[in-house]
Structure 1
Amino acid sequence: MKSRFLACAAALGLSIVPITSADAFLLGGIVYDPTNYAQNLLTAARTLEMINNQIKQLTNEAQMIANQAKELTNLPYSAKAAIASRLAQIDNLIKTANGIAYDVATVDAAFKMYFPEDYSAFSNAAMGAAAHQHWKETSRAFHDAMLIQAQVAETVRDDAATLDTLVQESQSAVGGLQAAQAGNQLIALQTKQSMQTAQMLAVQYRAEALERARQIQSEERARVRRERFLGDGSAYTPS
Structure 2
Amino acid sequence: MTEKLFHSGCVVALGLGLVSFASLRPAHAQWAVYDGANHVQSILIAARELQQIDNQITSLANQAQMLVNQGRNLATLPLSTLSTLQSTISQTTALLAQAQNIAYSVQSVEQQYQQAYTSISSGMSDSTLFSQAQTRWQNSVGGFEDALKLQARVVGNIPTDSSAMTQLVSASQNSTGALQAAQAGNQLLALQSRQLSDIQAELAANGRAAELERARQAANEAGAEAQYQHFAQYDAYVPEAVSVPGSGD
TM above 0.5, one fold? yes
Match of 1:204 in 2: 206
Question: For 1:155 and 1:213, how far apart are their aligned partners in 2?
Answer: 32
**Displacement after TM superposition at 1:68 (Å):** 1.8
Match of 2:4 in 1: none
TM-score, with structure 2 as normaliser? 0.81
Which amino acid is 2:219 matched to?
A: Q
Match of 2:133 in 1: 131
How do 1:46-195 residues align onto structure 2 when only pairs under 5 Å count? 46-195=48-197
Question: For 1:86 and 1:208, how far apart are their aligned partners in 2?
Answer: 25
Question: For 1:98 and 1:154, how far apart are their aligned partners in 2?
Answer: 22
Change (3 A) 1:34 1:124: same
User: Secondary structure, in 3 states, of the residue corresponding to 1:75?
Assistant: coil
**Displacement after TM superposition at 1:34 (Å):** 3.2
Change (3 A) 1:108 1:41: same
Identity rate of aligned residues, in percent? 35
Question: For 1:115 and 1:39, how far apart are their aligned partners in 2?
Answer: 108
Residue range with higher mean Cα deviation, 32-41 or 59-68? 32-41
For residues 5-48 of structure 1, give each alpha carbon's deviation from its aligned partner in whole angstroms, at most 9, with x where no partner exists: 887689xxx6956xxxxxxx63xxxx643332221111111110
Match of 2:35 in 1: 33
Structure 2 unaligned residues grouped into runs of 5+? 1-14, 242-249
**Displacement after TM superposition at 1:97 (Å):** 2.4
User: Secondary structure, in 3 states, of the residue corresponding to 1:226?
Assistant: helix
Question: For 2:238 and 2:118, how far apart are their aligned partners in 1?
Answer: 33
User: Secondary structure, in 3 states, of the residue corresponding to 1:115?
Assistant: helix
Runs of 4+ in 1 over 4 A off after TM superposition: 3-10, 14-17, 232-235
**Displacement after TM superposition at 1:138 (Å):** 0.8
User: Secondary structure, in 3 states, of the residue corresponding to 1:137?
Assistant: helix
- State the superposition RMSD in angstroms: 2.6
Match of 2:219 in 1: 217
Question: For 1:140 and 1:15, how far apart are their aligned partners in 2?
Answer: 126
For residues 52-108 of structure 1, give each alpha carbon's deviation from its aligned partner in whole angstroms, at most 9, with x where no partner exists: 011111111211221122112111111111111111110011112221111211121
TM-score, with structure 1 as normaliser? 0.85
Match of 1:22 in 2: none
Change (3 A) 1:236 1:64: same
User: Secondary structure, in 3 states, of the residue corresponding to 1:98?
Assistant: coil
Which amino acid is 1:97 matched to?
A: A
Change (3 A) 1:9 1:88: farther
Question: For 1:74 and 1:67, how far apart are their aligned partners in 2?
Answer: 13
Q: Determine which structure has more spread, i.e. the larger CA radius of gyration.
A: 2
